[in-house]
A and B are shown apart, each in its own frame.
Chain A
């Protein structure tokens, strides 16, 4: 990571926050920047729901094997430990980490990863979720990268507060629920499009996202409109999009 990359990323995130803002799109951008800046293979933002369950709201990839790794960590893994303690949790070597999290470490290694890092999303005395990073080579993040990673996790938290509101803690609760609900709508839209167009879930997500970006729509709004509407309302949506660089 060089200084220019870092500067560009933060300027871009700041720009997104002051412009027409959608929290899901913002968090998605943040995960993709995290992957670039921290030399990770995959990143995900997880938020806690009312049952204390960690739920994915945005990830740098929608590959099923990776999404499963996020879901798995409700039983064991660095994200769960990070969430409970409010501290960063690192596993620079997933082979050794098999002693602490046997099922999770095995699944992560099978998915092709060798190291994992979880950084807490904290607001005052609350832990609301975690930024989860996976790497293909062992070794883990250096201290400078951990600082940048924690800053990105903090930016994600601030992003959640972006919508106007007077009472901070109430706004956070409101926004968390909104973000969790938006993600569910996106998953439903993935399913509907996958079925209609014969795509897999990863392709369906890419297609929805590309369609939204091309028409300057919020992904969560597109998801709702697509589910409510009829096929004629979305010409061209069934044409699969290929992943494009951001």
Chain B
């Protein structure tokens, strides 16, 4: 599969493009650094709201519209670079045995960084595949060199000073990884970290849909619950139903999730409600070879 080049790459830091901003960012710019006198209030770790998630998802959809195609991994990468002070981004899809292939990348340095990790078999993006947790390297220092002795020096030579890797996962569903790099060292702020997680959610759905194409699937631009982003809430029943459907249809867990979403979309019902029916055993998805038909009990 040909790697998509999406998004723009720029030498300088990118401004957040929409009016919504955290008070700290509005006062001190996108880096979000607080002066000493700024009071440190007791606040949630990520002051995210559903509205912000909707904005970020909208940015992805905007990128796709600009490109003139359906939402793809390249649009998520472009949105990441547009929304955050990073120099580039890439998405790797997970293969059946470890790191798979590069789905998209925004610039040449990013491409080098992604390919280095696949060639060397080491690096933050590979660690996240096994750990299921992000790996944030705000400075490619001696700690990074100890952790990735082959990758770190070459990454520095390629032009990276900071790398942030995010797993693209929903529980046991492993779709791949999202990588970001910066040509200057420095951490992501809590707000920026939260932004990437939201965009990573979109990337997971995009990757899963591309791996299990189903003509009836809803657009990735809708929230993870299958409804408008501001209503989407995580529900344990959705995860449980995904496991049940995996068993019922005898398919891998990733495909089970896609089929569940597709069913809810085709029935014009909320994913959480369909999930609740499945968990309560009021509804069962049955395998059917040709073409897929769903029976309700």
Contacts and interface: CB of A to CB of B under 8 A. Distances in A.
A201 B240 contact: yes
B234 A125 contact: no
B45 A178 contact: no
Nearest to B254: A227
B132 interface: yes
| Dominant secondary structure at the B interface | mixed
A127 B44 contact: yes
B244 A192 contact: yes
Given A181-B132, A188-B253, A190-B240, A169 B234 contact: no
B42 interface: yes
Interface in A48-62: 48-53, 55-56
Contact of A188 (B45, B135, B167, B242): B242
A107 B124 CA distance: 44
A53 B236 CA distance: 13
B138 A167 contact: yes
Nearest to B46: A50
B48 A51 contact: yes
A166 B43 CA distance: 24
Most B Cβ at <10 Å: residue of A176, A185, A228: A185
A128 B194 CA distance: 13
B287 to A, nearest CB: 13
A181 B167 contact: yes
Contacts of A178: 131-133
B50 A51 contact: yes
Nearest to B39: A125
B45 A127 contact: yes
Contacts, number: 148
Contacts of A223: 171-172
Nearest to A47: B45
B26 to A, nearest CB: 19
Interface centre among B45, B135, B233, B247 (most CB of A within 10 A): B45
Given A127-B42, A173-B193, A184-B171, A167 B49 contact: no
Interface in A146-191: 166-167, 169-170, 173-178, 181-191
A116 B239 CA distance: 27
B197 A177 contact: yes
What is the size category of the interface that chain B forms with chain A?
Answer: 35 or more
Interface string B197-221: 1100000000000000000000000
A116 B167 CA distance: 36
B253 A170 contact: no
Interface in B162-207: 167, 169-173, 187, 190, 193-194, 197-198
B135 to A, nearest CB: 7
Nearest to B246: A192
Contacts of A196: 247
Most buried by B among A125, A184, A191: A191
18 contacts: A48-B44, A50-B48, A52-B46, A86-B43, A166-B143, A170-B187, A174-B133, A177-B197, A181-B133, A187-B171, A188-B243, A188-B253, A190-B240, A190-B243, A191-B245, A191-B246, A224-B172, A228-B172
Interface of A: 48-53, 55-56, 67, 71, 74, 83-87, 122, 124-128, 166-167, 169-170, 173-178, 181-196, 201, 223-224, 227-228
Given A87-B42, A187-B243, A191-B239, 13 more contacts: A71-B235, A125-B43, A174-B133, A181-B133, A181-B167, A184-B172, A185-B132, A188-B172, A188-B239, A189-B172, A191-B240, A192-B247, A193-B243
